[in-house]
Structure 1
């Protein structure tokens, strides 16, 4: 039996909660990412950036809804924090 590592909605919520973000129960990937970027500060952006990098460079398959939410919500929100650190 073949077992593939998948990152689904529950994994995303779990990882965001582990970083200290408040997530409503049953949140969709878009809602979860939207909650995560609200009130983003340097410390939270650093933690979120690390989580996103780990997810995107890992071997796990990211389900399309999760990937879309990351691309649409998290990456654009992290750009100002990344740019300010490299300036």
Structure 2
């Protein structure tokens, strides 16, 4: 019997909460909430979480990957751009 590590919406919400973000709902809603009001500290933590997820061996379920790609990453990029100006 094979056992695969999967990152589902509940895992994502748990990781975001562990970083101190107050999130609920589905992955997309949680990612949208997480990028609202970013500061340097939580943006760095969020970036680290995404890097860990993407470089780890666990399989990220499609809804979670889509939420990260469409909400978290653009939000982090917008925050970075805002910091440069």
What TM-score do the two structures reach when normalised by structure 1?
A: 0.88
Alignment partner, residue 63 of structure 2: 65
Deviation at 1:81, TM superposition (A): 4.4
Q: In the alignment, does 2:11 pair up with 1:11?
A: yes
Aligned partners of 2:23, 2:40: CA distance in 1, in Å? 19
Are the equivalent residues in 1 in contact too, given 2:9–2:26 (CA < 8 A)?
Answer: yes
In the TM superposition, what are the counterparts of 1:1-87 in structure 2 within 5 Å?
A: 1-24=1-24, 27-82=25-80, 84=83
Number of residues of Structure 1 aligned to a counterpart in Structure 2: 83
Task: Render the CA deviation track for 1:30-73: whole Å, top value 9, x for unaligned.
Answer: 00101101111111100000000000111100000000000000
Q: Which runs of 5+ in 1 are unaligned?
A: none
What TM-score do the two structures reach when normalised by structure 2?
A: 0.90
After TM superposition, the runs of 4+ consecutive aligned structure 1 residues lying more than 2 A away are 80-85
RMSD: 1.4
